[in-house]
A and B are shown apart, each in its own frame.
Chain A
Amino acid sequence: MSLFVFVLSCPLAASAAEQTAAGTAGKPWWFWPIVLFVFCLVLGIVAVLAGVGGGVLYVPLVSGFFPFHIDFVRGVGLMVALAGALAAGPGLLRRNLANLRLALPVALIASSFSILGAMLGLYLSALDPDIIQICLGVTIVGIAILLLVSKNTEKPVVNKQDAIGLALGLGGAYWDDGARESVEWKTHRTLLGLFMFILVGLLAGMFGLGAGWANVPVLNLLMGVPLKVSVATSKFLLSITDTSAAWIYMNRGCVIPLIGVPSIVGLMLGSLIGVKILAVAKPKMIRWLVIIVLFFAGLKAIDKGLGLGLLG
């Protein structure tokens, strides 16, 4: 129950942040980094429990409820997603859950197109920030629907590997602790999967979202990679995809340390706490809550972009 209240306090904290946002000038400078740190700590816990990346929650919630311009939110959002992926990478690689052979070709496509996405996003934002707000809102609502309807398969059956997957050697084996057996896997529909990462890279760069929400369905449902390997490789992939887009935003000046450092450190600490809570939590309920929060954050972004003011 206390966890339930804790999770719910996330949007409430954001709402409180928004109410005080109007009085930005009246607050001392240290007020916002502290609020942001606490907010990101909670966000880090929720993200782990819900099985989503920090960036996908950070960008819509912080852009919707905090007084920062969306340029800075996207820049920091990518750094947040990058830091989380970098921290998770070593453990996943050592346990052979994240697969380097699978990640490398996919990362090359996604990271190249995330640069284009970042440049396009900054261009549109310079034209009119509301365009980005509306597109972000539509994307977030789309992600919420994707989380709602996608049914990942734990161990997809791949009867025959395609020529590209075979040429690149996209396959492997991992030890499944739960089933006490080794699981071998290989890919199919590799070319179509690689094409899908063009879109994934563009969206990641344009909105600073990270892209775990898109990586996993493409790897698992389309290419036939087991769910555990898909999730781990996706997390590792973010450390490469987000690097290229993060540099574009950082070079443009979109990462303000006063906002960035408490966000990165808060989310990383929150993720560490989240991993400990995961053992006793009910992730299914939290996943539902996150879907609801994403729907709300997406609609809020659309509302803000259109200037309707229906959601406060």
Chain B
Amino acid sequence: MVTQNKEGLQPSREQIIYANLLIIGVWAGIFILVATYAIYLTGILPSHVELSIIPTIWGKGVGEYLEITHSPHGWGWLYLLAKGDFLNYIGLALLALMTIVCYLVLVRGYIRQKNWIFTVIAVLEIVVLSLAASGLLGSGGH
């Protein structure tokens, strides 16, 4: 189990590309989150849901909350980007999309290597994550 040579210790090329992409995306996401939150709290852009109202309704279930605030579900927030509160979803969505972007790079690498098992695994993961992100699964029902 334990050897003294250093061969095979280096991460694969895909692993390095994945890491580089991730670091850019994560810090961009965090920066956008902080910036848009500042815009939201300072009121530079008007909010869809008044800040003072939120503490009175965040104890209710999500269905009731959306109904009271007339807030959209799924990707409906894209139509409300001029509102300070929904502007924050840019950073949140970027963080949640990063893995899909990184997997696209992985697939390209695995195809080049003709590593078909991992190509299929990576493609299936993209399908699963895209399905979750699409809003087709469980975004309604309120």
Chain A residues in 8 Å Cβ range of B129: 111, 240, 243-244, 247
Question: Of B15, B62, B118, which contacts A252 at CB under 8 A?
Answer: B62
A83 to B63, CA, bound (A): 25
A158 to B2, CA, bound (A): 12
Which chain B residues have a beta carbon within 8 Å of chain A's beta carbons?
A: 1-12, 14-16, 18-20, 22-23, 25-26, 29-30, 33-34, 37, 40-41, 51-52, 54-56, 58-63, 65-66, 71-75, 85-86, 88-89, 91-93, 95-96, 98-100, 106, 117-118, 121-122, 124-125, 128-129, 131-133, 135, 137-139, 141-142
Residues of chain A from 42 to 101 with CB closer than 8 A to chain B in the complex: 67-69, 71-72, 75, 79, 82-83, 86-87, 89-91, 93-96, 100-101
Instruction: Say what secondary structure dominates the interface of chain B.
Output: helix
A248 to B92, CA, bound (A): 13
Chain A residues in 8 Å Cβ range of B88: 257, 260-261
Question: Of B6, B16, B29, B138, which contacts A93 at CB under 8 A?
Answer: B16
A67 touches B59 (CB 8 A): yes
B55 touches A96 (CB 8 A): no
Stretch at the interface among A181-189, A213-221, A280-288: A181-189
A216 to chain B, nearest CB (A): 19
Instruction: Say what secondary structure dominates the interface of chain A.
Output: helix
Q: Does A32 contact B (CB under 8 A)?
A: yes
- Report which residue of B5, B26, B96 has the largest number of chain A beta carbons within 10 angstroms of its beta carbon: B96
Which chain A residues have a beta carbon within 8 Å of chain B's beta carbons?
A: 24-25, 27-30, 32-33, 67-69, 71-72, 75, 79, 82-83, 86-87, 89-91, 93-96, 100-101, 104-105, 107-108, 111-112, 115, 118-119, 122, 125-126, 129, 155, 157-158, 167-168, 172-175, 179, 181-185, 239-240, 243-248, 250-262, 264-265, 268
Question: Of A29, A108, A155, which contacts B55 at CB under 8 A?
Answer: A29
A90 touches B33 (CB 8 A): no
Question: Of A29, A126, A240, A268, which contacts B54 at CB under 8 A?
Answer: A29
Chain B residues in 8 Å Cβ range of A179: 2
Chain A residues in 8 Å Cβ range of B125: 104, 107-108, 111, 240
B20 touches A101 (CB 8 A): no
A185 touches B128 (CB 8 A): no
Question: Of B2, B9, B26, which contacts A86 at CB under 8 A?
Answer: B26
Closest to A92 in B: B19
Known interface pairs A90-B19, A129-B61. Does A182 touch B9 (Cβ–Cβ under 8 Å)?
yes
Chain B residues in 8 Å Cβ range of A107: 125
B60 touches A69 (CB 8 A): yes
A257 touches B37 (CB 8 A): yes
Chain B residues in 8 Å Cβ range of A69: 58-62, 65
A119 to B131, CA, bound (A): 13
Chain A residues in 8 Å Cβ range of B22: 86, 89-90, 93, 239
Question: Of A27, A175, A257, A268, which contacts B6 at CB under 8 A?
Answer: A175
B6 touches A182 (CB 8 A): yes
Chain B residues in 8 Å Cβ range of A108: 121, 124-125, 128
A157 to B11, CA, bound (A): 23
